[in-house]
Structure formats: structure tokens, C-alpha cells
A and B are shown apart, each in its own frame.
Chain A
Amino acid sequence: MASISLHGACKRFGAVTAVDIPQLEVADGEFFVLLGPSGAGKTTTLRLVAGLETPDAGRVLMNGRDVTAEPPAQRDCAFVFQQYSLYPHLTVFDNIAFPLRSPMRRLDEAEIRRRVARVAEVLHIESKLLSKATALSGGEMQRVAIGRALVRQPSVFLMDEPLSSLDAKLREELRVELKRLQRESGATVLYVTHDQVEATTLADRIAILEHGCIQQVGTPLAIYDDPQSLPVAQRLGSPAINVLPAEWFQGSGPAHATHVAIRPEDVVVGAGDGPSHFDVIECSLVKHMVVAERGGIEVRARTLLDQALAPGSPVRLAFPPQHCLFFDRSGQRLAT
């Protein structure tokens, strides 16, 4: 088990600064998620930790030890990629056992069998151990890939979108399993994703990355409830947070607010005061969603309704002040 620190880590590719992280601390045993859109620098950050990239400036520490100059093999990290890269000619057993048979480790066969059996049990692939890797479904292959990482019992797991090539149902199953595994083993996990559901359900803490910079670090609850900037507010939440003009909120909130954001589940449909007249655009009883419009600005409300509202019909929406977040022109959160 290990902690990870980045100090002043900077990585450029030509004129592009891929990553610029003054400080990042991942605690021992923490499930830490890097969340951001593609091109935000998530994977580069992960590769810096793994030693697959060398920073142009700054240091990478594991357990307080400077490993910046060490090659990947000496860092005791196991990497799980989005595309499970198994050896197609080997059985599941041999795929999982592969890292244990490397010249660096060379464990005896009895120990290998014991470890593989344990990992297979944890991942529910005991019955597949003798199958060829190519005979597996996508979900099983990714389980084997995770198994191959687990079996080494590394100090740190680095995972780069390990679930994104799977279909929704498998993603959900493996997500729950991953979280359970990490909890039980107490492993440190640094996990990269662009999927906010994976971030909020898996993470102990999340770092939001944009353009190579960390925007905010915190627990899923803290980031969701208390975003410090508009991009962070928009990164979590499905459907996305409503961003409304400050003119709708005259007299409430800070004077220099330009935008007011409110989560769809906090918008109250059909009751209260406030700017009340909206036209319904869409109403889905299945998705529990009302989309309404006023002056060309759409508002989404998440609510359980008994009856569908007809498109075009008027609806009253209220924005309770305790749920309103105020932002200035540059997108910075304003205190209220």
C-alpha cells in the first residue's frame, strides 16, 4: 500500500502543456478519481505516476520516496487499460499468472496457483480459468485484465477508463465489484474517467481536471454540493446543472453575480414564487424530467410527476434560494 504525491509536476508536448499540477496528494488506501473531458490531461497524469512519461519539471513521490527517475518496473504500480490486452493464445489462468512468472518475481507454481485461484474467486471467473482468452465476453476479458493487475498485489493500481468499453449493465456490475475489491484490500487506486457516475460512485475523493490543471479536489459530495467554479459545477450532475441569468434573481445574491446555477432536482415544479411562467418543451415521466423554456433559456427539473405536462403548456418553476449558486463573469463562485 502506498501514498502518491505530485509536486510541481509539469509535462509539455511541443507547445502544448498537457499537465501542470502544483500539488496533488493521494492518501494510502484511497480511491482517487481524476475526472475530466478528453484532452484534460488525466491519462498523462496517470502515466507520470506510472513512469511511462517523465515530467519536464517537478517530482513524483510514492510513500514519500522520490521515484521521478525510476523506471516503471521499480514503482510497484499495476496498470489497467481501457482496452483489455490479454494474450489470446493463453488460457485465463496463464494470463492472470503471467506477471507472477516474470523473471523479476519468479514465484513457485504452488504459490502462483494459490494466488490465481484467490483472484479468480474474487472476480467470479473461477469457471473460466481453463478457457482461452479469446473465448470470453468483453466483461469477462476486462475481469481477467483486472485480475492480472490484482494478482501482483501491487502498492498502487492505476486504472485508465477500465470500464468504458463495456456495455451499461456490465459496467454497473464491475463498478460495484471494483469498489468492493478496493475496500476489502485497502489498495490505493488512482482512476481516470470521463464518466461522472463512475466518479461519484467509486471515489473517496475526486480531482476535476480541465486543460491540464486541477480545478478542484474533494469528496464527491463536496464537489457536487459546493463547486468553486462554473466548469466544476457543470462537470458533475446528469442532466447538467441549470445555468440561469442573474437578472432572474434580482435582489437576491451578490451584486456582481452574472450567472446563477441550480441543480435540476432542486428546481420546484408547479409551486412557490419566483419567475414562474415557463413553457413546457418536454416532459418525460420515465426519466422524471421536465424541460421548460423562458425567453429562449431552457430549465431542466427532475421530479416525480403523476401526469405528463403537455409540450407548449405553461408551468410554474421555483428556484429555492438555499439551492442557488452564484458565479461571476469569470465563472468563479461567489460567497452568499
Chain B
Amino acid sequence: MAAIQIHQLQKRFADFTAVKNSTLHLEDGKFVVLLGPSGCGKTTTLRMIAGLEFPTAGQILLDGEDVTYRRPRERDIAMVFQLFALYPHMGVRENLEFPLRNEGVPRAEIDRRVREVAAILRIEHLLGSRIGGLAGGDRQRVALGRAIVRNPKAFLMDEPLGTLDAEFRELMCVELRKLHERLRTTTVFVTHDQNEAMALADHIVVMNKGEILQADNPLGIYNFPSCVFVARFIGRPPMNLLPVDGAVLAGMDRVQVGGAAVPVPMLQAQAGRALLGVRPEHVRLVAPEVGLRAAVTHVEYFGSHWIAELRSAAGTLKAVVDKAARPREGDEVGLAFETQRVVMFDADSELLLASTATATHRPRMLHG
């Protein structure tokens, strides 16, 4: 078990700054996902925590102890690269024993730990099998077993599911999360895949261009994105962003969008230019004479729902539509938004504007 603190962490490669002054407090026992597009600095951050890179400036504390310049082996942290990498010519037991034998752990201790891990993952009956004959799910459990058998203070994982196909990735997410609930070992997991992040994380840290943009629980990230980048990055389809007509002021509870008056949670900040953000699932199609007028330009059917692409005076947007509604291309509709789910951004700074809705939420993670 370990709490990890990074303080004013910075990493420069020649004249490129990979990580800019990151401060972050990772609580003991949490599953934390570093999420962002490639080049955002998430892997570099992870590698500094692991000791595979040394920072240009700043500090890393493991349980309060400064480990910034310690070598990886001196940190008692396990770096997991790819979860599916098993030695196919060895048996299940040999694969599980391998990391321990490498470290010269005594025989009796190896046996005890392998038994324990096999019990946790419910693969005791497979210990005598060969890797080649295993079903996909069992293989993944063995791979997980090999990662946890060393029993480290923390796991660091760099896109461990990246090379798996979609079906296995989902299965593996479920297994990883279940395992975390049993072990409660602090885990830092790097991915660019928001589905993995949402499925796994207690806390998500969204990064872009070397900066931490938001650190919060999945719900906070989803409902109250700290800036336009996070709003666009999270959610599928992503949040709709529509320009507001004119300036917005504190105390306003309705704004003009595409010539229509749209109710919003009462603003507690002002902006010269603003964007209204609303998720596709919080857009409702209503009668054309109500709300923001729009035309349906494209529909996709997903069984449980439709996704409609709409064109309005304020720009294009998407809506998740109930399956019974059967929207059609060319339909003229009105758009209404779930008022309490609407967020506003300053169009110049691109930051979230405070409102009575955002005031109800307190971020679950410390960062700077």
C-alpha cells in the first residue's frame, strides 16, 4: 500500500517540455488513470514515478519518503508493460513463479505466493496446465497473476491492454477492476482510451501538452469538465459546444443560443464570449416551435437508441434519441436541454464557468 505524491514535477527533453510543473496527490489504495492523447505527458509522468526517467525538477514521494532519484528496484513498485505477455513454452505455474525466481525468493515463499495469487484469481485448477491450451479469459488471469505475484506497494501500468482486441479489452477491464477491489493496491494506469478510464478508475487525471487539466472522479470529469479540451475529449459522442450570443453575467439563468432563449443553471461568473456545453444524452428533440430550431441531417441506429446529427442556427450538434422516437433525416425539430446538465465555458480562456450546478460538486483529487 502506498500514497504517491508528485510535487512541481517537470521533465524536459532538450527544448521540449514533456511534463510541466505537475502537482498531484494519489491516495493510497486508489485506482488512478492518467488519460490523454499521445504526447500529453502521461507516460513520461508514469515513468518518473517508476524511476525509469529522472525529472528535470520536482519531487516524488512514496508514502512520504522522497524517492525522486532512486532507481526502479529501490522503489518496490511494479511496472506492468503488457498484460498478455506470457511465456508460451512454460506452464501456468512456471509463468507465475518466474518473477519471484528472478528475484531469488526462497522456494517455500514462492509456493505460498503462487497459491495465494491462484486463489485470488480463481485459477488454482489451471496451475498444472500449459499456456497454449488456455482459453482467452484464463490466459488473461494468468497474465494478471504474474503481475501481482510480487506483491508490490503499487502497480504502474502503461497501456497494458493496448494490443488486445476490443472484446478481450472489455473482459480484462472487468477482471482488473475486480482484482483491484480485492487487493486495494495503489494503481497508476496510463491510457488514451476513455472507456478504459471510465470502467477502471476511482480517479482520472486528464492531461494534454504536458499539463494536468483536471483530476477528479469519473462523474466529476464527465459532468463538470474543467475546460473545453476535457469536454471534447470525454464522452462518445463528445459534448456539444455551442456559441452563446453576447456576453454572460453572474446571476443569469438563461442565455441566447442561435437566437433561442435557453435556460441554464444560474451563473456565478461572467464572460465576454461564452460556449454552452451539453452532452448528447441531455438533448431532447421536441416540437419544432419549442426551443432551439434544428434539422436532422443524419441518423445512426444503435438498437437501444439513435444518435441524430442536427443542424441549428448555433451550429451542428448530436443528440441521443430514445429508440421509440425513430428520428428521420430531414425532420424539423426543436431542441431542449436538461437544464441542470448544462455547463458554460468562457470562450476565450476555455475554462468552465462557475454556476449553481458546478457549486454542488467538489473535486475528489488534489492537483496543481
Contacts and interface: CB of A to CB of B under 8 A. Distances in A.
Interface of A: 164, 167-168, 172, 176, 194-197, 200-201, 220-221, 224, 236-238, 263-265, 285-288, 302, 304, 306, 308
A177 B301 CA distance: 15
B111 interface: no
A188 to B, nearest CB: 20
B38 to A, nearest CB: 11
B222 A200 contact: no
A246 to B, nearest CB: 24
Nearest to A179: B300
Interface of B: 165-167, 193, 195, 198, 218-219, 222-223, 236, 281-282, 298, 300-305, 323, 338, 340
B218 A286 contact: yes
Contact of B323 (A265, A288, A306): A265
Contacts of B222: 285-286
A30 to B, nearest CB: 16
7 contacts: A167-B193, A168-B193, A195-B166, A285-B223, A286-B218, A288-B281, A304-B338
Given A167-B193, A196-B303, 8 more contacts: A176-B300, A200-B303, A238-B302, A238-B303, A263-B304, A265-B304, A288-B281, A304-B338
A21 B63 CA distance: 64
B236 A264 contact: no
Nearest to B309: A176
A201 B301 contact: yes
Contacts of B195: 168
Contacts of A286: 198, 218-219, 222
A6 to B, nearest CB: 26
Nearest to B199: A287
B287 to A, nearest CB: 21
A181 to B, nearest CB: 14
Contacts of B323: 265
A176 B300 CA distance: 9
A236 B198 contact: no
B301 A220 contact: yes
A221 B282 CA distance: 24
B194 to A, nearest CB: 9
Contacts of B193: 167-168
Contacts of B165: 164
Contacts of A302: 304
Contacts of B219: 285-286, 308
Contacts of A195: 166
Contact of B301 (A168, A221, A264): A221
Given A164-B166, A286-B198, A304 B301 contact: no
Nearest to A223: B303
A268 B187 CA distance: 36
A336 B256 CA distance: 50
B304 A237 contact: yes
Contacts of B300: 176, 201
Q: Of A197, A286, A287, A302, which is in contact with the most chain B CB atoms at under 10 Å from its CB?
A: A286
A224 B218 CA distance: 31
Q: Which 5 A-B pairs have the closest CB atoms?
A: A201-B300, A224-B303, A265-B304, A286-B222, A200-B301
Q: Which of B218, B281, B304: most chain A CB closer than 10 A?
A: B304
A83 to B, nearest CB: 13
Given A164-B165, A285-B219, A304-B281, A237 B303 contact: yes
Contacts of A168: 193, 195, 236
Nearest to A288: B281
Nearest to A38: B167
A197 B219 CA distance: 25
Nearest to B218: A286
Contacts of A176: 298, 300
A69 B218 CA distance: 58
Contacts of A164: 165-166
Contacts of A306: 340
A321 B43 CA distance: 51
B6 to A, nearest CB: 26
Given A168-B193, A286-B198, A286-B219, A236 B303 contact: yes
Q: Count chain A CB atoms within 10 A of each CB in B282, B298, B303 and give the residue with the most.
A: B303
B346 to A, nearest CB: 25
A84 B236 CA distance: 26
Contacts of B281: 288, 304
B302 A197 contact: yes
A41 B262 CA distance: 52
A220 B303 contact: yes
B286 to A, nearest CB: 16
Contacts of A285: 219, 222-223
A287 B303 contact: no
A304 B338 CA distance: 11
A140 to B, nearest CB: 15
A287 B236 CA distance: 11
Contacts of B282: 304
B31 to A, nearest CB: 15
A243 B323 CA distance: 20
A209 B166 CA distance: 20
A164 B169 CA distance: 13
Nearest to A195: B166
B149 to A, nearest CB: 28
A54 B281 CA distance: 48
A263 to B, nearest CB: 6
B304 A287 contact: no
